[in-house]
Structure 1
Amino acid sequence: MGKNFRKPAALLLSLFLVIGLAACGGKDSSGGGNSAAVNGGGESSGGKKQETTSILFWSPFSGADGPFMKKIVDKYNSSQDQYKVNFVIQPNGEYYKQLDVALSTSKERPDLMIMHVDNVPTYVNKDQLQPLDDIASASGISKDDYAEAPVEYSTIDGKWYSIPLDIHPVVMYYNKDLFEQAGVSGPPINRAEFEDAVAKLTDKDKGIYGYVLPTLWPQQFIFPSLVWQNGGELWDGSDVAYNSPEAVEMVSWMRSLVDQGYSPGNVQQDGENTLFLQGKNAIQFNGPWMKSQFDEAGLNYGVAPIPQIGKEKRAAFAGSHGFVIPKAMTDEAKLAGIGDFLKYMAEHSMEWAESGQALASKKMIESEEFKQLEVQSSIAAGFADVQFAPNVLNWGTISEPIWGELNNALLGKKDPQKAMDDAVAKSRQAMKN
């Protein structure tokens, strides 16, 4: 069942959601290629060389994940000679700015691009994306081939706009050595178990904390998860709602971890991760993109779904990368090639899983090869609990005040209710501009 995106009055339509970008971050990379068709490739039945259709594919994978996608593209290009996908990596921090220019001017416009699912409603509203239903059908791709959540989110007014590549929810990483030393048998699954575990894991004499509370990133993943778990919402259908009793209770709970001594009180950006790498933080909530860093550090760690801290349900904020096509891209040969490539991706994307991502393709998830990936398969097991950002235009700008005010509350500079009331007031002002 599709969604109709909701449009608050007088919103700007240009800014993009920042949250998902961190999952692609890193040093800049570049790729080559252009969108012109080139001659070459295989022989036709008549002995003449057939024309190879070239497809320009943009992505923001300028971090460590870029080479994994490039490997898939290279394998696809080697598997046949009718199409050539030219894979171009744009710097993730500038990705949507460059995409906006390309789509508005048609200069070096990509034929296919990666888009974070949260951005799909805005670009559909700007009439810059084309529905993929016909392309998918012609290529033998079905909605049923993918995890439900990103398909549902990107189906707007009954039309499907984004074919999902992965889902990256917040998860719990834990230090197995510290768990064993503290006598904690396994990852906690609820609030009582979590509080019991962090109490046992904290050893102030050794400078070890049960859970180091981040006051900045990745709260963009943690705070929404806890609000939803507690029966609250960020958006109630017509207005921001993160000053509700359910939301404020979760802010107070997070601050209580500091008050009880389970976390230091003034954690700087990435401080929780630095201590985790040093073996002084037993638990952290973060995304799948952290896996390679922990592997390189040689940590003995485990991964599990984020515990249910709230009173109502299991929930985990997630992002998702998906494939979208500009509305202005009408070349039939290229569209056929894109369909062929997307069909290939649905069946040959294990390299992307090896980057740390949990794949959205059910065929890949159900494969024995994927099941052998402990972290990724654990993440995929929690797909039923994932939720994305509210399906509201310009949500990144509307919700931006949350993070500064949440930081004030977690640092003890403001009462939690006051901080969330101030965030709501600032968000409402942003909605009027």
Structure 2
Amino acid sequence: MKKKRFLGIALTAALALGSLAGCASKSEDSAGTAGKGEKITFWAPFSGADGPRMKNIVANYNKSQSKYQVDMQIIPQNDYYKTVDLSFSGQKSGPDVMIMHADQLTNYESKHLIKDITDVAEKAGIKKENYSETAWNAGAFDGKQYSVPLDIHPLILYYNKDLFKAAGLDPNKPPKTREEFVADAKKLTDSSKNQWGFVVPTLWPNQFIYPTVFFQNGGELLKDGKPNYNSPEGVEALTFLSDLIHKDKVSPENVQQDGEVTLFLQGKNAMQLNGPWMMEQWDKAGIHYGVAPVPQLGTKTQAVYANGHNFVIPAAVKDQKKLDGITDFLKYVGNNAMEWARSGQAPASKAIYEQNAEFKKMTQQPQVAKEFTYAKFAPRIANWGQISDPLWSEVNLALLGKKDPKQALDDATKKAEQVMSK
């Protein structure tokens, strides 16, 4: 899955990267319906390798019964939320059900654009206890439910087993703590060969990496509704990442966009923090890699930043037949999401990640599911994209060595406060 920019309600480039990591394409596509029954229009941004997986789920659902027919329409990810906004404003015919990222739910719920599905979900037998609590709660607002989760996609650790073995490290024992991580990175680094223990990206995916360390330090990105970027926990997290480059020297300097990916593909980057959407790229490259939960790089607790795909229903959808069809489809997906797991994702349905034997035998997906209990999403505030944009810009400057971490985060906090005061 690749990342691209998209437009939408209060979105920025950084948020676009975080929200849509994983769904890239250039053309709109649709999985049409050949059968009869109540038509359900389903929009999704799955225009990458995950698209065919969801198409198969839709096709299998349509074959499984004749009462409803789901018509899946794929919107290219860079246009997805722009198209969604046009539909909500009445300028374009909208869907009956759609995919929405966890970090977008607050934007749309706060504007009353997505439906409270508490009653229709209960009627259909879609229950909280059948899903990851973390994923389910992402769609809960004031005791009401606004989404049904498809997956959680957190940051995870990829590592090159061949490089581990060559460095005298056990290729089946990736690091679990900060101390182990830094020690392993040093052993894996040979700058004379342009080989690095952990190549620190200065841009994407720091929208996942930096918050992970911040949360592991026990920090909060927003506190009492205000930016908290320059808290001691935030400064410590950024200092740690900066030190990997400038002090520990386990990473090259001035890493450009996707530079860490290129070096991992070349066998020159021993460890990489990225998302589940990278699996297909590593597999195609033939890398002998391992997958593990993110080590506890922070100082206080285990945590990992994540996003997630969720099903939501536009508030304008009120036809009971359509609502019955939508919930019937969503219940089917929850019980039949193994096809989605084959894309590298870990479905949020317990029927898959806790009970399915095939899922448990997979290499990557069970490692992703291990992180569900302590995964954390973006702060619950509308316009998080605009509020966080200064943070990613200043983190970039600090990692490039152009600013002291404390100064960078002081500046990020001031700029974010200015955004919120407008």
Deviation at 1:418, TM superposition (A): 0.7
Q: Which amino acid aligns with 1:270?
A: D
- 1:245 is the counterpart of 2:245: no
**Residue of structure 2 in register with 1:415 after alignment:** 404
**Residue of structure 2 in register with 1:225 after alignment:** 212
Deviation at 1:55, TM superposition (A): 0.6
The answer for unaligned runs of 5 or more in structure 1 is 1-12, 42-51
Q: Which amino acid aligns with 2:263?
A: L
- The count of residues paired between Structure 1 and Structure 2 equals 408
The answer for unaligned runs of 5 or more in structure 2 is 1-7
**Residue of structure 2 in register with 1:150 after alignment:** 135
**Residue of structure 1 in register with 2:323 after alignment:** 335
CA distance in 1, matches of 2:128, 2:249: 48
Deviation at 1:106, TM superposition (A): 6.4
Deviation at 1:344, TM superposition (A): 0.5
**Residue of structure 1 in register with 2:23 after alignment:** 25
**Residue of structure 1 in register with 2:222 after alignment:** 235
SS of 1:105's partner is coil
CA distance in 2, matches of 1:122, 1:58: 18
SS of 2:29's partner is coil
Indicate conservation of the 8 Å contact 2:156/2:274, yes or no.
yes
Among candidates 344, 352, 355, match of residue 364 of structure 1: 352
SS of 1:18's partner is helix
- 1:317 is the counterpart of 2:305: yes
**Residue of structure 2 in register with 1:81 after alignment:** 66
SS of 2:100's partner is strand
1:295–1:264: structure 2 CA closer, same or farther, 3 Å change rule?
Answer: same
Indicate conservation of the 8 Å contact 1:166/1:358, yes or no.
yes
Q: How does 1:197-236 map to 2 (within 5 A)?
A: 197-236=184-223
Among candidates 404, 407, 414, match of residue 425 of structure 1: 414
1:14–1:26: structure 2 CA closer, same or farther, 3 Å change rule?
Answer: closer
1:179–1:100: structure 2 CA closer, same or farther, 3 Å change rule?
Answer: same
Normalising to structure 2: TM-score of the pair? Answer: 0.94
CA distance in 2, matches of 1:231, 1:125: 27
Deviation at 1:231, TM superposition (A): 1.6
SS of 2:158's partner is strand
CA distance in 1, matches of 2:271, 2:20: 20
CA distance in 1, matches of 2:213, 2:255: 19
Deviation at 1:22, TM superposition (A): 3.4
**Residue of structure 2 in register with 1:14 after alignment:** 9
SS of 1:55's partner is strand
Q: Could you report, residue by residue, the CA deviation over 1:133-184 in whole angstroms, capped at 9, with x for unpaired residues?
A: 1121121110111001121121101100010000000011000000111112
Q: Which amino acid aligns with 2:265?
A: L
Q: Could you report, residue by residue, the CA deviation over 1:41-86 in whole angstroms, capped at 9, with x for unpaired residues?
A: 4xxxxxxxxxx10010000111111111111101111111111100
SS of 2:326's partner is helix
**Residue of structure 2 in register with 1:8 after alignment:** none
Deviation at 1:24, TM superposition (A): 2.9
Indicate conservation of the 8 Å contact 1:117/1:162, yes or no.
no
Q: How does 1:390-401 map to 2 (within 5 A)?
A: 390-401=379-390
1:303–1:32: structure 2 CA closer, same or farther, 3 Å change rule?
Answer: closer
Deviation at 1:268, TM superposition (A): 0.2
Deviation at 1:206, TM superposition (A): 2.0
CA distance in 2, matches of 1:131, 1:22: 24
Indicate conservation of the 8 Å contact 1:145/1:361, yes or no.
yes
Indicate conservation of the 8 Å contact 2:19/2:307, yes or no.
no
CA distance in 1, matches of 2:100, 2:222: 23
Indicate conservation of the 8 Å contact 1:21/1:93, yes or no.
no
CA distance in 2, matches of 1:40, 1:33: 12
Indicate conservation of the 8 Å contact 1:33/1:56, yes or no.
no
RMSD: 1.5
**Residue of structure 2 in register with 1:379 after alignment:** 368
Q: Which amino acid aligns with 1:380?
A: A
Among candidates 341, 344, 357, match of residue 332 of structure 2: 344
Q: How does 1:78-227 map to 2 (within 5 A)?
A: 78-105=63-90, 107-185=92-170, 186-227=173-214
**Residue of structure 1 in register with 2:3 after alignment:** none
CA distance in 1, matches of 2:96, 2:78: 21
SS of 1:113's partner is strand
Q: Which amino acid aligns with 2:359?
A: F
Indicate conservation of the 8 Å contact 2:29/2:73, yes or no.
yes
Q: Could you report, residue by residue, the CA deviation over 1:172-203 in whole angstroms, capped at 9, with x for unpaired residues?
A: 10000001111122210001101110011111
SS of 1:131's partner is coil
Q: Could you report, residue by residue, the CA deviation over 1:199-251 in whole angstroms, capped at 9, with x for unpaired residues?
A: 11111232210000000000000000000111211101221001111111111
Q: Which amino acid aligns with 1:87?
A: M
**Residue of structure 2 in register with 1:70 after alignment:** 55
Indicate conservation of the 8 Å contact 1:402/1:420, yes or no.
yes
Indicate conservation of the 8 Å contact 1:173/1:304, yes or no.
yes
Q: How does 1:32-43 map to 2 (within 5 A)?
A: 32=30, 41=36
Q: Which amino acid aligns with 2:136?
A: V
**Residue of structure 1 in register with 2:292 after alignment:** 304
Indicate conservation of the 8 Å contact 1:20/1:116, yes or no.
no
Q: Which amino acid aligns with 1:391?
A: R
CA distance in 2, matches of 1:25, 1:111: 21
**Residue of structure 2 in register with 1:49 after alignment:** none
Indicate conservation of the 8 Å contact 2:35/2:69, yes or no.
no
Report which stretch shifted further, 60-69 or 277-286: 60-69
SS of 2:98's partner is strand
SS of 1:420's partner is helix
